[in-house]
């Protein structure tokens, strides 16, 4: 049982992809409380294997389900993790380190030796467990198996091991010091407790959280301690707003007392649009999640990099359990449309390459004995690929998500370069909400690395 109030060096809000390695690392020499609103992965068998991936995204009826689904204001279905390990416990498992350009664009002064050590630390905890078409379409060179972000085609690493068993950020808690860490599950943090200092500036001193029975608890930091929010791209800005840190007029419209006016909380919210082409194979294939990725120099198949378009998040209610209302404004910046069209043209080259012939319908299926064709799920690509307007329209009409949404608490706008919330002492944000660009082909590796490395980079010893 947890004491109703206790003094911790660090309170980490959100046991997700960044939060678990962060809490584990801090606990080696400090007293840490990790508060996660979801349950343990072991309670949900579908999470354990690759085969359960889609089922997890469908079984979302219960308020306790590990995937909390939401639909953006544009009507695009999406999901977020609500379980220990966060979205790394429900995701597709593709694992890839960030591209070098990410580090200079992130606004953080990384120590690259520490970055590489931290990636190694993460990868040590589990074994990193369609290439021809991409090569024919000139997405070269072939780089074999790699965890690095390399131009060309590669077989990526996966957080599913060779027996198909999932590993997630929750596994990184095995590196924690059991004597120093307390992990509370189904503990939803309702707000950050703030105190006004004599200098009139605000200081985070603890949190209010509620358990599965709706009982409220306080947890306090000891003097010199910190509250670190790792509640994810939707959860972190939401919690700041509910705690009175955000745009003054907006907070007042909800009747939330304003602690710190910051117009940027919940703004600059990005999602990488996905525009896949899906075909039905003539014979059933083994089920597999994404394993092969092509990184051409002029655009990425499926995932529009960046993106440059952004939207915002608004509270849906004053209840932290309700996902905020989210608008990503896909393709509002014409650069994203240009990249999408370039990526789809490349995808068309792949699909029309010789290696894909076996996926065309057999001749006897093709109407009137014509050429062998593909059977598409959803809309086929426009026949005239050089018609930019038609291709752009396809991008807009068929946009989906690759679930790499980020932003809402950007560096330089909500947090400083050491991830401290501007205008509030002893409060940081460490998760995907601080990014203005999604790192590499897939973000989870970088988020785990960040959880590991920030304590060495910015958080100083209390002792």
Ligand X SMILES: Cc1cc2nc3c(=O)[nH]c(=O)nc-3n(C[C@H](O)[C@H](O)[C@H](O)COP(=O)(O)OP(=O)(O)OC[C@H]3O[C@@H](n4cnc5c(N)ncnc54)[C@H](O)[C@@H]3O)c2cc1C
Nearer to ligand X, 90 or 350 (CB): 90
How far lies 273's CA from each of 51, 278, 309, 388, 425, in Å? 25, 16, 10, 18, 36
Answer yes or no whether residue 299 interacts with ligand X by CB under 6 A: no
Q: Tell the residue number behind the tokens 């205008």, with chain if given.
A: 423
Nearer to ligand X, 131 or 406 (CB): 406
Q: According to the annotation, is 371 in a ligand binding site?
A: no
Q: According to the annotation, is 121 in a ligand binding site?
A: no
Nearer to ligand X, 136 or 161 (CB): 161
Nearer to ligand X, 237 or 343 (CB): 237
Non-local (6+) Cβ contacts of 104 within 8 A are none
Secondary structure letter of residue 29 according to DSSP: T
Please, which of residues 255-294 interact with ligand X by CB under 6 A?
none
Q: According to the annotation, is 37 in a ligand binding site?
A: yes
Answer yes or no whether residue 324 interacts with ligand X by CB under 6 A: no
Helices (H), 204-307: 232-242, 248-253
Angle of the 19-27 helix axis to the 444-457 helix axis, nearest 10:
30
Classify the C-alpha dihedral 89-92-94-100 as positive or negative: negative
- CB distance 320 to 239 below 8 Å: yes
Provide the CA 47 distance to its chain's centre, in angstroms: 17
Q: List the x/- string, 383-412, binding to ligand X by CB under 6 A.
A: --------------------xx--------
Answer for which of 11, 12, 13, 228 binds ligand X (CB under 6 A) is 13
Nearer to ligand X, 228 or 337 (CB): 228
Tell the smallest beta-carbon distance from residue 143 to ligand X (Å).
18
Please, which of residues 56-85 interact with ligand X by CB under 6 A?
57, 79-82
Q: Which region among 36-44, 134-142, 292-300, 415-423 touches ligand X (by CB under 6 A)?
A: 36-44
Task: List b or e across 348-386, with b for residues whose CB sees 16 or more CB atoms inside 10 angstroms.
Answer: bbbbebebbeebbbeeeeeeeeeeeebeeeeeebbeebe
Q: According to the annotation, is 404 in a ligand binding site?
A: yes
Tell the smallest beta-carbon distance from residue 203 to ligand X (Å).
20
Q: List the x/- string, 115-154, binding to ligand X by CB under 6 A.
A: ----------------------------------------
Q: Spell out the SS3 assignment of 56-69.
A: HHHCCCCCCCCEEE
Question: What does the alpha-carbon distance between residue 175 and residue 259 come to, in Å, rounded to a whole number?
Answer: 36
Q: According to the annotation, is 148 in a ligand binding site?
A: no
Provide the CA 236 distance to its chain's centre, in angstroms: 12
Output the six-digit token pair for 391. Answer: 């291709």
Answer for which of 270, 331, 432, 452 binds ligand X (CB under 6 A) is 432
Cis peptide before 141 (omega within 30 of 0): yes
Answer yes or no whether residue 41 interacts with ligand X by CB under 6 A: no
Please, which of residues 16-35 interact with ligand X by CB under 6 A?
16-19, 35
Tell the smallest beta-carbon distance from residue 445 to ligand X (Å).
6
Q: List the x/- string, 230-249, binding to ligand X by CB under 6 A.
A: xxxx-x---x----------
Output the six-digit token pair for 102. Answer: 């990410």
Non-local (6+) Cβ contacts of 68 within 8 A are 60, 79, 80, 81, 82, 323
Residue in the shown chain whose Cβ atom is closest to ligand X: 16
Question: What does the alpha-carbon distance between residue 274 and residue 302 come to, in Å, rounded to a whole number?
Answer: 5
Classify the C-alpha dihedral 167-169-170-176 as positive or negative: positive
Q: Clarify whether 404 is annotated catalytic.
A: yes
Answer yes or no whether residue 303 interacts with ligand X by CB under 6 A: no
Catalytic annotation, pick one of 30, 99, 404, 406: 404
Answer yes or no whether residue 219 interacts with ligand X by CB under 6 A: no
Phi (first) and psi of residue 151, to 5 degrees: -60, 140
Q: According to the annotation, is 189 in a ligand binding site?
A: yes
For the annotated catalytic residues, the residue numbers are: 404
Residues making up the annotated binding site for FAD are 36-37, 83, 189, 403-404, 432, 443-444
Residues making up the annotated binding site are 36-37, 83, 189, 403-404, 432, 443-444
Q: Which residues bind ligand X (CB under 6 A)?
A: 13-19, 35-38, 57, 79-82, 86-88, 90-94, 188-189, 230-233, 235, 239, 320, 403-404, 431-432, 442-444, 447
């Amino acid at each position: 049982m947890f004491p109703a109030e206790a003094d911790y060096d660090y309170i980490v809000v959100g046991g997700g992809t960044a939060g678990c390695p962060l809490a584990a690392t801090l606990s080696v020499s400090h007293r840490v409380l990790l508060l996660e609103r979801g349950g343990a992965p072991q309670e949900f068998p579908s999470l354990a294997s690759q085969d359960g991936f889609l089922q997890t995204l469908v079984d979302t009826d219960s308020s306790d389900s590990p995937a909390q689904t939401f639909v953006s204001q544009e009507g695009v279905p999406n999901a977020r993790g609500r379980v220990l390990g966060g979205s790394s416990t429900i995701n597709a498992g593709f694992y890839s380190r960030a591209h070098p350009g990410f580090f200079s664009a992130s606004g953080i002064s990384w120590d690259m030796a520490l970055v590489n050590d931290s990636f190694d630390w993460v990868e040590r905890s589990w074994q990193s467990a369609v290439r021809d078409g991409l090569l024919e379409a000139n997405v070269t060179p072939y780089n074999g198996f790699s965890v690095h972000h390399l131009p060309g085609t590669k077989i990526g690493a996966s957080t599913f091991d060779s027996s198909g068993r999932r590993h997630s950020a929750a596994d990184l808690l095995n590196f924690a010091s059991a004597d120093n860490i307390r992990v509370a599950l189904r503990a939803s943090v309702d707000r950050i407790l703030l105190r006004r200092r004599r200098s009139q500036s605000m200081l985070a001193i603890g949190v209010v959280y509620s358990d599965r029975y709706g009982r409220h608890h306080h947890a306090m930091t000891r003097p010199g301690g910190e509250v670190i929010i790792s509640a994810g791209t939707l959860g972190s800005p939401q919690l700041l707003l509910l705690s009175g840190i955000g745009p003054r007029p907006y907070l007042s419209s909800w009747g939330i007392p304003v602690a710190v006016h910051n117009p940027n909380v919940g703004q600059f919210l990005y999602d990488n649009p996905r525009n896949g082409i899906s075909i039905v194979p003539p014979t059933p294939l083994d089920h597999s999640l994404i394993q092969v990725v092509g990184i051409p120099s002029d655009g990425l198949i499926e995932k529009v990099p960046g993106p440059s378009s952004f939207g915002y998040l608004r509270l849906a209610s004053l209840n932290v359990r309700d996902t905020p209302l989210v608008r990503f404004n896909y393709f509002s910046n014409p650069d994203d449309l240009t990249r999408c069209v370039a990526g789809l043209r490349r995808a068309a080259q792949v699909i029309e390459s010789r290696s894909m012939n076996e996926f065309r319908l057999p001749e006897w299926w093709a109407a009137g004995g014509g050429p062998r064709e593909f059977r598409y799920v959803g809309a086929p690509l426009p026949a005239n690929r050089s018609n930019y307007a038609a291709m752009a329209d396809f991008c807009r009409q068929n946009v989906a998500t690759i679930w790499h949404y980020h932003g809402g608490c950007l560096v330089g706008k909500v947090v400083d370069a050491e991830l401290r919330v501007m205008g509030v002492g002893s409060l940081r944000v460490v998760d995907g909400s601080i990014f203005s660009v999604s790192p590499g082909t897939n973000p989870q590796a970088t988020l785990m690395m960040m959880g590991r490395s920030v304590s060495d980079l910015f958080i100083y010893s209390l002792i």
